[in-house]
Every structure is written in structure tokens, then in C-alpha cells.
């Protein structure tokens, strides 16, 4: 699968200079999108499960449950 992360914040955004992140610790995944840009990552999940993704650059990271999402990997 391919995940493409896009930041709609510019370089003047406080905290992180417009960068955002998509990180899944359990799968060792980390994408950082530049200000007003995109970054992609293609990977094949090797284990089923439910994983939390988050941005730790400016969105509060794992400590902010309102800014987290869930990645579900099924067979």
C-alpha cells in the first residue's frame, strides 16, 4: 500500500514550520510532509492488527488523542 501525506500549512505555521508527520510506531513507519508539499511511502504490512498513527511534529503526537487515527491491517 502507499500512503501519501500532504501538508496544507505553509512555512510560517507555528511549531514545525508547516511540516506534518504520519507515524506508526509498531510498524516502524514515518512520513514527514514538507510545508505545502507531499511525501509518500509504499510498504507491505507484514502483520494484521490495529495501529495508531499520529503527528508528533506539531499536532500533539501520541499525547493528543483527538489528533490520532487508526490504521487497520486485514488479511
**Which residues of the shown chain bind Cu ion in the complex (CB under 5 A)?**
20, 55, 58-59
Closest approach, Cβ 36 to Cu ion, in A, equals 14
- With 0-12 CB in 10 A as exposed, 13-18 as middle and 19+ as buried, what is 45? middle
Residue with the CB atom nearest Cu ion in the bound state: 55
Nearest residue (CB) to Cu ion, 15 versus 26: 15
Q: Is 13 exposed, middle or buried (0-12, 13-18, 19+ CB in 10 A)?
A: middle
CB of 50 to Cu ion, least distance (A): 21
Amino acid at each position: 500500500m502507499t500512503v501519501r501525506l500532504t501538508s496544507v500549512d505553509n512555512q510560517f505555521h507555528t511549531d514545525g514550520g508547516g511540516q506534518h508527520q504520519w507515524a506508526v510506531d509498531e510498524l516502524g513507519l514515518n512520513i514527514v510532509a514538507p510545508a505545502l508539499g507531499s511525501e509518500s511511502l509504499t510498504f507491505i504490512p507484514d502483520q494484521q492488527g490495529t495501529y495508531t498513527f499520529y503527528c508528533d511534529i506539531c499536532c500533539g503526537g501520541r499525547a493528543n488523542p483527538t489528533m490520532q487515527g487508526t490504521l487497520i491491517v486485514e488479511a
